[in-house]
Structure 1
Amino acid sequence: MLDLTKLAGQLPEISQHLQREAKAAQQRLERAQILLDEIQGRQEEFTAQYEQWRDRLIFNAALPLEPIDTCITIPTPPAQHSVFATDGSQIAPSHHEIAYCYLINVGRVMLHYGQNLHPLLDSLPELFYKAEDLYIARQWGIRPEEWMGHRRTVSEAQMLADMAVRWVQPPGAHTDPNLALVDGSLTYWFLEALASEARDRLLPPILTAWDQLYQERIPLMGYLSAPRNSEAINFLRFPACPHPNPDCIRHCRGEESNGELEGGRWQNRLPCQVVDPLRDATLWAYVLQPGQRGALWRSSAPILNLYPEHLRVSFCYVHVGTEIARVEVPQWLAEDEDLFHQSLGILLAQVHKGYGYPVALAESHNQAVVRGGDRARFFALLEQQMIRAGLHNVGISYKETRKRGSIA
């Protein structure tokens, strides 16, 4: 039980800390705006530096594909369009339950506007209980719970593509604008740390699903609410660099650290880290007006080297009215200006319909979520099946029994 009386004495310290940090953040923002102005007059020069010295950098910086001060008003969406979205949830494996298994539940949503058609809102559960499902990842040092999350990501991508492609292909022959939405990033950073054998089981099926969307020209967008990325901010390190060229390996190798906050100041920072730890969204909140998007950027995450060229990720920041959201798209969509802006219009309408968050993504989450009652009913059903199969001594561990029936 949380003792609020003891906690109350710590709250004044938090408020004082946040007040100091707000002042420091304002100073970082002012420095970032100065660097942004400097880039506007020399963007081609800094872009050339990026291309020439990118293999010598010790940080990941995105490359602007448009003028860095771009502010474009997003158009209104077409009257008739459809939106597809998936999201997943799971029941994690536990040795304290009656059986060691896990379940992935993927919520599917298909919403139609201006077409007098019924929506689709459902979920597809999948149960994993075989040894190859539970223990295969141990050879790569991956825990079953972690592997379950990776498998869920694959299932979400596959079901999204299957749902959208089935809708637009004959015999339906639906030609109205469409949009496929993903909750989160299209750049799977977590794959960088995995063994190649494990990565080869996860990434190819995702890319195959995305390629199916590409073949049908169905736009794909990843929506990140409250993003904490700093790829675009890192491009500001080029004008801040005090050296004649940004050769980090030669000038700064071994000097970079995450820094420590001492006396309200960040210590052990490189000369080019003058705005850290400022985030992209914080800067673009002062650049964009509601309903506008910023410049398109090409992500430089190393994992994208494994993506085919037309599926590599670009992104922009969008002022959706309630926040600055990061929107990621495959390269083929970023290169199709008309389709890209049409898709942004549909996305912005989804945010407005969802009161600050895309309604299709919110509903797919609601369809996928496994609540406590669902979990209890699932294991009750499993217990019945095990008893019918002639298994005896079916039950949970004593630890789980005590947790569920505390006498305190």
Structure 2
Amino acid sequence: MALDLTKTAGQLYTAMPSIREQWGSHLRALERAAGHFATADPHETEARRAAGKATWLAAHLEGALRGGFAPPPLPPDHVVVAVDGSHVDVDRHAAARCFLINIGYVALRYGEIPHAELRSEPLLCADEASLALRDPQGVREANIEGTLLGMHRAVMEIEALADAVEAAPEGLPVLGLLDGTLVLWGLTGGMDFVREELVDRRLMHAMDRLRAESQRRTLAIASHISRPRSAEVVNAIRISREVCGHETVNCDANCGQLRRGERNCDVVGGVTDAALFARELEPGERSALFHSASSIVTEHYGDHQVCFFYVNVGEEIARMEMPSWTSEEGVRLAHAGLLAQTEKGHGYPLALQEAHEQAVINGADREYFARLLYETVSSERLPAPTSQKARSKRTRFV
């Protein structure tokens, strides 16, 4: 065993006083955040956010901050479709430059004619045209690997979800589930031609297809985030007049010279939305709808702005992100459908569990793929070099 657990346990024991102090500070900040959440004026706070310059990403408020919505009834006849993905990144130690994406699909029909369909679709990209995004107006290019491959896969998942929704039986309400966020955070500071390809050409087209389906039937497209770490609602409290204390919101000008703990808003610092709503929501209840103020969304998502709510699923507070064009009936379907799926999945949506199982590329699969790649390239009498580092991991000398 490479890790010395005895030494690690000793270090953990030494760290416990600090961990206890952090937990105590968190509880005190949470208590203050809950108090201000109850008294902050949402209309004034939204006006301050819109006119100000905040360091924090604060939620766009369109109504009340507080208030829990009880779970609505779920239509007995409905369809739940879910998509998830996994990938093998470009590996410089491999026999050939390529990446592999596996998309898992699940369609579960409930009601009088129950039916289940589960499948996966792998996509191997090894040709030069598929391994990079290129600027049509110049010579710039971006290799599809790392963060960019993750965004490429995320867009593929939404495209696959559009396919699944369009294939759902006519006349039935459909809940479409994704895992993770609808916001492509990796675009921050990226090249414009990458955004144009991923967002303008592909993501927006897939969202257009989904919105067209929403005009034909009750449809909820919801991206599920388990144990979210977001603090956008708490950040709205941070810039409220009663917490911020400044006449206008300008974090750099007002508090740019102050250290953490010296700013007025630090009284609620470190509190997540999930921690706040764990106090506010009864099991089964959801929060009000909030809107993302991310510049990625507001500047590039056009008619497909992102809204979100939090829901107490019993085991945890989950975050659900949806397109802002979702109808009230669609929001109710997302709320009720999520609770039903979470109950069936013992804490996590069943359809997403099954989609993950279809999509996952486990360690054994990755090793088999690496061998298959090497053997296939070698069988064609092509050079199949692998690095000495890769070789050392396969061979044990001691």
TM-score, normalised relative to structure 1:
0.88
> Would the alpha carbon gap of residues 296 and 398 (structure 1) be closer, same or farther in structure 2, given more than 3 Å must change?
same
Cα distance per residue 1:155-196 (max 9 Å; x no partner): 11111111211224xxxxx21111111101112222122111
SS in 1 for 2:83: strand
> Would the alpha carbon gap of residues 185 and 136 (structure 1) be closer, same or farther in structure 2, given more than 3 Å must change?
closer
**Which residue, out of 98, 101, 104, partners 2:98?**
101
Distance 1:358 1:158 in 2: 21
**Structure-1 residue corresponding to 2:323:** 330
Distance 1:112 1:286 in 2: 34
Q: Following TM superposition, by how much is the alpha carbon of 1:388 offset from its aligned partner in structure 2, in angstroms?
A: 4.5
Distance 1:21 1:195 in 2: 39
**Structure-1 residue corresponding to 2:65:** 68
Cα distance per residue 1:357-393 (max 9 Å; x no partner): 111111111111112322233344444543453x145
Distance 1:383 1:120 in 2: 34
> Would the alpha carbon gap of residues 196 and 309 (structure 1) be closer, same or farther in structure 2, given more than 3 Å must change?
closer
Amino acid at match of 2:345: G
Amino acid at match of 1:275: V
**Which residue, out of 313, 337, 351, partners 1:346?**
337
Tell me if the contact between 1:207 and 1:307 (Cα under 8 Å) persists in the aligned partners. Answer: no
Tell me if the contact between 2:133 and 2:194 (Cα under 8 Å) persists in the aligned partners. Answer: no
Distance 2:291 2:155 in 1: 24
Amino acid at match of 1:350: Q
**Structure-2 residue corresponding to 1:171:** none
**Structure-1 residue corresponding to 2:298:** 305
> Would the alpha carbon gap of residues 243 and 112 (structure 1) be closer, same or farther in structure 2, given more than 3 Å must change?
same
> Would the alpha carbon gap of residues 250 and 147 (structure 1) be closer, same or farther in structure 2, given more than 3 Å must change?
closer
SS in 1 for 2:96: coil
Q: Following TM superposition, by how much is the alpha carbon of 1:343 offset from its aligned partner in structure 2, in angstroms?
A: 2.2
Distance 2:124 2:116 in 1: 26
**Structure-2 residue corresponding to 1:47:** 46
**Which residue, out of 223, 237, 247, partners 1:244?**
247
SS in 1 for 2:146: helix
- Number of residue equivalences: 386
**Structure-1 residue corresponding to 2:192:** 196
TM-score, normalised relative to structure 2:
0.90
Cα distance per residue 1:144-165 (max 9 Å; x no partner): 3332222211211111111211
Distance 1:175 1:135 in 2: 41
Please say if 1:181 is aligned against 2:177.
Answer: yes
* Structure 1 segments unaligned to the other structure (5+ residues): 169-173, 260-266
Q: Following TM superposition, by how much is the alpha carbon of 1:236 offset from its aligned partner in structure 2, in angstroms?
A: 0.9
Could you tell which deviates more after superposition, 85-94 or 141-150?
141-150
Q: CA RMSD in A?
A: 2.2
Distance 1:121 1:43 in 2: 44
Q: Following TM superposition, by how much is the alpha carbon of 1:292 offset from its aligned partner in structure 2, in angstroms?
A: 0.2
Distance 2:162 2:6 in 1: 52
Q: Following TM superposition, by how much is the alpha carbon of 1:401 offset from its aligned partner in structure 2, in angstroms?
A: 2.1
Distance 1:31 1:332 in 2: 34
**Structure-1 residue corresponding to 2:118:** 121
Q: Following TM superposition, by how much is the alpha carbon of 1:298 offset from its aligned partner in structure 2, in angstroms?
A: 1.3
